């Protein structure tokens, strides 16, 4: 049997969360990322809508997104060859029976993102001509909503981490976690790893990792979301269309590499698994799209699903476990894990390094109390920070 590999931080999971954490932590520590699949990004990270909007998710999420924008707009030099964000815009639409909801939502949205403005149905149809005049009763637009180059961001994190000496080990599903000499010991088919600090960035499997490590789970609930591509309407250039989002979270669609990306915005509770699209959810998405637009769905070119994983209050969970402070949570990013990854990675790295909560994230109105796992257990934390 080969000797265990000694490192300073083990990160379990090579999705956007684990990759972002490795990028930040490898600047000051020796890091190993353990990923079960043959490539990082196979699960939720590779299945997203790639959208950067500041107007989606609860108030904590929206503030973390604001704290992430600077990194995505101007990543460190050499991070990637192309811009990570590109212009998209997002129109939120409402039927007559949803107008009250639209009004309330617009007020709250403008408080945080002042560039959001109401638009008439005619203005919305001018931007997206397939929207039905007899469906649309109201709309507003977030003009600075963007598309994210998810692969560019994910690979940039991994490349940057490797450049600082991190090891990214694939085909390394963690099968057992124990203690050895006061450290964590993680056993995988790719070898055994020892470190004083363990970061749980296992997405939908986060609670399973906790149980393996003898840590109390926090009630993570994966929820399946379906997406599919259909061809663009014949002869129509859709490349400049904004993302169109239903105010009641019944559907959304956007251009996607020459086709349309459509989602019924489903959120079906699921066990952690390799999620796939159910025919019924694709059919529901197609029916809702046809109701709101003049598009007739003739052919679905590709469908897939991913798990968005939440805790009870819908905010991410970042920081040391309140009972086992060398076990660090980085989970519960829900449907927002790509666009929040710059700020959440920094928060996690800063706490591990004993530097406290980053000032720029605090200035957006987010505190450690909003993210700490202890909030989910109704107990006082034994330790909010981990000394380096
Ligand atoms: C349809 C859809 C649309 C979305 N749209 C957006 C969007 O527009 N914008 C946005 O910001 N977010 C969006 N999201 C959410 C975003 O994709 C997720 O929040 C994010 O990808 C979560 O990243 P993660 O690294 O936590 O999880 P994952 O990418 O799932 O990574 C977790 C990794 O842990 C690994 N793992 C698990 N168990 C083990 C083990 N025992 N040993 C080793 N490795 C293990 C898994 O193999 C996996 O690779 C969307 C999600 C979906 C499904």
pLDDT at 254 over 90: yes
Q: Which atom of ligand 1 is nearest to the CA of 340?
A: 11
Q: What is the DSSP string of 324-378?
A: STTEEEEE--TT-TTTTHHHHHHHHHHHHTT--S-HHHHHTT--HHHH-GGGGTT
What is the distance between the alpha carbons of residues 9 and 199, in angstroms, rounded to a whole number? 7
> Residue 298: CA atoms inside 13 Å, Cβ hemisphere, count?
6
Residue 378: pLDDT band with limits 50, 70, 90:
low
- The residue whose C-alpha atom lies closest to atom 50 belonging to ligand 1 is 48
pLDDT of res. 2: 73
Q: How far apart are CA 180 and CA 183, in angstroms?
A: 5
Task: Report the residue among 157, 171, 275, 335 best suited for mutation to probe ligand 1: largest number of ligand atoms under 8 A from its CB.
Answer: 335
Confirm if 335 and 226 have CB atoms less than 8 A apart: no
Identify the CA nearest to 256 among candidates 55, 15, 86, 126. Answer: 86
DSSP code at position 27: T
Q: Cβ(231)–Cβ(259) under 8 Å?
A: yes
Q: Return the pLDDT at 91.
A: 98
In this structure, the number of other CB atoms found within 10 A of the CB of residue 374 comes to 21
Q: Among 49, 158, 200, say which to mutate for ligand 1: greatest number of ligand atoms within 8 Å of CB.
A: 49
| All residues at 6 or more sequence positions from 351 whose CB lies less than 8 Å from its CB, including other chains | 318, 319, 320, 328, 357, 368, 385, 386
Distance from Cα 170 to the centre of ligand 1, integer Å: 16
| Tens-place pLDDT, residues 321-369 | 999 999 999 999 999 999 999 999 999 999 999 999 999 999 999 999 9
Task: Answer positive or negative: Cα dihedral of 138, 290, 126, 133.
Answer: negative
48, 357 Cβ separation under 8 angstroms: no
Strand, coil or helix: 253: strand
Compute, in angstroms, the gap from residue 15 CA to the centroid of ligand 1.
Answer: 6
pLDDT, average across residues 80-96: 97
Task: Please identify, by atom number, the ligand 1 atom nearest to the C-alpha of residue 227.
Answer: 1
Ligand 1: centre distance to CA 71 (Å): 20
What is the Cα–Cα distance from 329 to 210, expressed in whole angstroms?
9
Give the separation between CA 239 and CA 233, rounded to whole angstroms.
Answer: 12
* Distances from the Cα of 161 to the Cα of 42, 74, 168, 333, 349, angstroms: 19, 18, 9, 21, 13
Question: Residue 258 and residue 239: Cα distance in Å, rounded?
Answer: 7
Structural contact between residues 174 and 187, judged by C-beta atoms closer than 8 angstroms? yes
CA 59 to chain centroid, in Å, comes to: 15
**Confidence at residue 222, expressed as pLDDT on a 0 to 100 scale:** 98
| For residues 177-197, average pLDDT | 98
**CA of residue 274 to ligand 1 center, whole Å:** 11
Tell me what pLDDT residue 279 has. 98
Kind plus residue range of the DSSP H or E element containing 92: strand 90-94
CA of 76 to the centre of ligand 1 (A): 23
In this predicted model, what pLDDT tens digit does every residue of 288-328 receive, in sequence order? 999 999 999 999 999 999 999 999 999 999 999 999 999 99
Q: How far apart are CA 206 and CA 314, in angstroms?
A: 15
Question: What's the CA gap between 339 and 146, in Å, rounded?
Answer: 10
Q: What value does the CA radius of gyration of the chain take, rounded to a whole number of Å? A: 21
DSSP state for residue 231 in the 8-state scheme: E
Task: Return all residues near 249 (Cβ < 8 A) that are at least 6 apart.
Answer: 265
Rounded to whole angstroms, the Cα distance separating 307 from 329 reads: 18
The domains of the chain, with CATH numbers, are 5-50+150-218+314-376 (3.50.50.60), 90-143+221-310 (3.30.9.10)
Q: What interface predicted TM-score (ipTM) does this complex get? A: 0.99
Nearest atom of ligand 1 to the alpha carbon of 16: 25
Average pLDDT score over residue span 46-51: 98
Q: What is the pLDDT of residue 1?
A: 55
Mean pLDDT for the chain? 96
Q: Whose CA is nearest to atom 47 of ligand 1?
A: 36
Decide: 207 and 221 in contact? Cβ < 8 Å: no
- List beta partners, residue 305: 226
Q: Which atom of ligand 1 is nearest to the CA of 333?
A: 19
Query: What are the structure tokens assigned to 388, written together?
Result: 């380096």
Q: How far, in Å, is the centroid of ligand 1 from the Cα of 45?
A: 4
Question: Distance, CA 42 to ligand 1 centroid (Å)?
Answer: 8
Ligand 1 centroid from CA 311, angstroms: 15
Ligand 1 is surrounded, with C-beta below 6 A, by: 12-18, 34-37, 42-45, 47-51, 173-174, 201-205, 209, 225, 227, 263, 306, 308, 333-339
HSE, CB side, 13 Å, CA atoms: give it for residue 325: 12
């Amino acid at each position: 049997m080969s000797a265990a590999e000694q490192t300073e931080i083990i990160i379990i999971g090579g999705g956007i969360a684990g990759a972002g954490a490795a990028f930040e932590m490898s600047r000051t520590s020796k890091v190993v990322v353990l990923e079960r699949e043959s490539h990082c990004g196979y699960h939720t990270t590779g299945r997203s809508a790639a959208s950067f909007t500041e107007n989606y998710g609860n108030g904590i999420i929206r503030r973390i997104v604001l704290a992430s924008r600077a990194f995505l707009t101007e990543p460190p030099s050499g991070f990637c060859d192309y811009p990570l964000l590109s212009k998209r815009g997002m129109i939120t639409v409402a039927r007559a029976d949803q107008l009250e909801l639209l009004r309330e939502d617009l007020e709250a949205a403008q408080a945080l993102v002042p560039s959001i403005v109401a638009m008439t149905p005619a203005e919305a149809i001018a931007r997206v001509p397939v929207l039905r005049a007899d469906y649309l009763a109201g709309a507003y637009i977030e003009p600075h909503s963007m598309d994210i180059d998810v692969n560019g961001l994910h690979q940039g994190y991994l490349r940057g981490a490797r450049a600082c000496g991190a090891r990214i080990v694939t085909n390394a599903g963690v099968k057992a976690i124990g203690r050895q000499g006061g450290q964590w010991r993680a056993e995988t088919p790719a070898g055994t790893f020892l470190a004083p600090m363990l970061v749980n960035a296992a997405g939908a499997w986060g609670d399973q990792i906790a149980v393996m490590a003898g840590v109390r789970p926090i009630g993570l609930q994966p929820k399946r979301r379906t997406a599919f591509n259909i061809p663009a309407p014949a002869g129509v250039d859709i490349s400049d269309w904004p993302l169109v989002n239903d105010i009641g979270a019944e559907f959304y669609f956007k251009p996607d590499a020459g086709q349309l990306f459509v989602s019924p915005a489903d959120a079906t509770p699921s066990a952690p698994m390799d999620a796939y699209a159910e025919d019924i959810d694709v059919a529901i998405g197609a029916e809702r799209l046809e109701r709101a637009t003049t598009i007739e769905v003739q052919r679905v070119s590709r469908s897939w699903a991913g798990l968005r994983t939440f805790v009870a209050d819908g905010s991410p969970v970042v920081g040391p476990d309140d009972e086992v402070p060398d076990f660090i949570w980085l989970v519960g990013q829900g449907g927002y894990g790509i666009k929040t990854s710059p700020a959440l990675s920094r928060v996690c790295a800063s706490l591990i390094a004993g530097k406290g909560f980053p000032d720029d994230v605090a200035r957006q109105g987010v505190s450690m109390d909003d993210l700490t796992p202890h909030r989910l257990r109704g107990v006082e934390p034994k330790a909010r920070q981990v000394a380096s």
